[in-house]
Amino acid sequence: MSVPPADELPPFDPGDPLGLDDLLDAEERAIRDTVRAWATDRVLPEIAGWYERGELPGIRELARELGSLGALGMSLTGYGCAGASAVQYGLACLELEAADSGIRSLVSVQGSLAMYAIHRYGSEEQKERWLPGMAAGTTIGCFGLTEPDHGSDPAGMRTHARRDGTDWVLTGRKMWITNGSVAGVAVVWARTERDGGPGSGGVRGFLVPAGTPGFSAPEIRHKWSLRASVTSELILDEVRLPADAVLPGVTGLRGPLSCLSHARYGIVWGSMGAARASFEAALGYARTREQFGRPIGGFQLTQAKLADMAVELHKGILLAHHLGRRMDAGRLRAEQISFGKLNNVREAIGICRTARTILGANGISLEYPVMRHATNLESVLTYEGTVEMHQLVLGKALTGLDAFR
């Protein structure tokens, strides 16, 4: 087949050099544009100040607005959730993280971790009690798995739950918990004792309402990443819960790990939002910043940087699209999500760092988004599975040999 003459084709679009918009239908574009408009109006004018002060003021109002957009528990069905496709959810994550990783983290933890756990493994009573309010953003949730001494190896968790009559009593600590101090409910994973009763033994999920005696969530301060995000520790000191606080649908680590896979999928898309914002800032700067009598975008070395950044950015978006279509078809494996998370976050950090070099000293200023995105992505690189963990997941899948231990 011959290639049509250039004058018969649409003009080259620097914002979409591969024509990836052609992969989207009208509804997908509408969702993307709606989320982008909200982020542009509500987040971008304030985010530099929030980040500099290390706060996310009005988080409850933001959550309600995100609920009105249908962005919370977006890919879940029923209970007030939007029932969106995986691709639609991914596009929303990309646009939210183009504003700031902290905003996308708020949505991911709410929908892909806390709500997903309840939706997939909760009883009907638990779903009816919690999910409608969480979908509307009137109730914020958090997800307690990581501990001070156990992150990549959740099997070593020390938080435990024992039976006392029909009640459960939880003791332990969780660390680096997004939304923790503002959450109305925490999904907490704990080891349970083998007492011979139904469902005894193994890791179980528990729904811990805020205000339960013995439960507290002090906020973690002095962060240099995800500063416009609420991050907390969860402390459980003999927290007594009724029998119906446990998620009945799962026992073992496959429960929390399946939730993490869902959250990692959103990161595959979201990281490309941070990369896109940084690339666009560098491209705009290169077109207008003059040195040696002309815009720096006219120099070969700067054009090489921009070309390499564009290639990795749009390859990453294409990968996210592919994984989203596989998820919608029910064919996406956890190893494939690891592939996407490993590649896209790593490449996004590289794009941010290169963008900073184009901006020179201005690149460290909060007048531009580049350094903010770069520091945020250092957290994104670690949470929901470090580089090393995803490399080992893929290594095991490729070789059939387990190198984790």
Phi-psi region of 62 (alpha: psi -120 to 50; beta: other; left: phi over 0): alpha
Amino acid in the structure at residue 267: I
What pLDDT was estimated at residue 75?
Answer: 96
What pLDDT was estimated at residue 196?
Answer: 43
* Percent of the chain clearing pLDDT 70 (strictly above): 97
* Whether 161 contacts 90, CB under 8 Å: no
Indicate the pairing of strand 185-192 with strand 160-164. parallel
What pLDDT was estimated at residue 150?
Answer: 86
Chain segment 37-96, per-residue pLDDT in tens: 999 999 999 999 999 999 999 999 999 999 999 999 999 999 999 999 999 999 999 999
What pLDDT was estimated at residue 152?
Answer: 83
Residues near 291 by beta carbon (within 8 Å), at least 6 away in sequence: none
Chain segment 319-375, per-residue pLDDT in tens: 999 999 999 999 999 999 999 999 999 999 999 999 999 999 999 999 999 999 999
Nearest-CA neighbor of 258 among 187, 159, 170, 164?
Answer: 187
Query: Hey, which residues are catalytic here?
Result: 384
Band of pLDDT at residue 154, cut at 50, 70 and 90: confident
**Average pLDDT score over residue span 240-267:** 95
What pLDDT was estimated at residue 151?
Answer: 78
What pLDDT was estimated at residue 324?
Answer: 98
What pLDDT was estimated at residue 339?
Answer: 97
Q: What are phi and psi of 239, to 5 degrees?
A: -80, 120
Instruction: Give 201 or 104, the one with higher predicted confidence.
Output: 104
**Average pLDDT score over residue span 362-391:** 96
What pLDDT was estimated at residue 2?
Answer: 67
Band of pLDDT at residue 197, cut at 50, 70 and 90: low
* Percent of the chain clearing pLDDT 90 (strictly above): 92
What pLDDT was estimated at residue 404?
Answer: 84
